[in-house]
Amino acid sequence: MAQRQRNDSTHIPSVRQDNSRPYLTQKTLLNSLHAQQIFDRGYEMCANALFSLSVVLRFIGSEEQAQEVDALVDTQIDQTLEEIRKESLRLKEVAEGNGIETAIGYTSAKTIDVQITSPRAIKYLAIIREFDAMMAHLDALWLSCVITDSQYARGVYEWKRRILRLAGQIRQLATRAVLAARRKETGEMADESGTARVGQDRDLAAEVAGKNPPEDD
């Protein structure tokens, strides 16, 4: 039996695949091809990164610094989710204004068993599901000739790019955290006397949080 090859783009150095991690399973119906593609390309990558952030940052600096990064990620996720909902509502109102029914069907809808491995992973899944719901309105407008082929293609492309870019940004943040944690664990940030370790660990935490390290007095 053929085995699924590991996608290197989803691999976060700190997330060892042989470690036993808790997870919840949630069944999710994705109707549109575009939502299915976002899930295939972005969900595992983002879920691994979010798990890494939840764990790794607690080993770097203080809990306060870790919470700063948590807040940054939460803001990015919540903002994207809110803007998708607003766009979905706008498209629904346009459809209703044109007397269009949005209860359309899809030829290859998929029900997926999704592993939820961190509290924020379910938020990224919510973004994909909201995008799928938005696509129903966009598809109805396109099939009813309210929007052109070009408008349809541009709208799909821009939203897919934005949602996948969010996953990439979270992955980048997680990777920086992992590298900082590894340097801390191996002692690479300590000088020969060991006196600089505390200050450099503080600087690493600030770097992961997206800040410039404080200058020495």
Q: Which of 77-81, 115-119, 186-190, 202-206 has the lowest mean pLDDT?
A: 202-206
> CA 17 to CA 7: how far, in whole Å?
12
pLDDT score for 190: 52
Would you say 87 and 42 are in contact if contact means Cβ atoms under 8 Å apart? no
Would you say 42 and 163 are in contact if contact means Cβ atoms under 8 Å apart? yes
Residue 2 has pLDDT above 50, yes or no: no
Q: Which of 105-114, 146-155, 188-197 has the lowest mean pLDDT?
A: 188-197
Mean pLDDT over 111-125 rounds to 95
pLDDT tens column, 132-168: 999 999 999 999 999 999 999 999 999 999 999 999 9
Angle at 155 between CA 85 and CA 73, to 5 degrees: 50
Tell me which residue of 12, 17, 24, 6 sits closest to 115, measured CA to CA: 24
- Identify the three-state secondary structure at position 110: strand
pLDDT top residue among 52 and 217? 52
Burial of 130 (0-12, 13-18, 19+ CB in 10 A): buried
The residues near 197 (Cβ < 8 Å, ≥ 6 apart) are 187, 189, 190, 191
pLDDT score for 164: 98
> CA 86 to CA 94: how far, in whole Å?
12
> CA 101 to CA 28: how far, in whole Å?
23
Mean pLDDT over 1-9 rounds to 44
**Mean of the per-residue pLDDT values of the chain:** 81
Which string of b and e fits 103-127 if b means at least 16 CB within 10 Å?
eeebeeeeebebebbbebbbbbbbb
Mean pLDDT over 77-91 rounds to 97
pLDDT tens column, 7-59: 444 455 545 555 678 899 999 999 999 999 999 999 999 999 998 888 766 76
Q: How confident is the model at residue 6 (pLDDT cuts 50, 70, 90)?
A: very low
Backbone angles phi, psi at 154, to 5 degrees: -65, -45
Segments of the chain assigned E as strands: 24-30, 110-116
Residue 71 has pLDDT above 80, yes or no: yes
Instruction: Please give the share of the chain, as a percent, with pLDDT higher than 90.
Output: 57
| Entry pTM | 0.78
Residue 213 has pLDDT above 50, yes or no: no
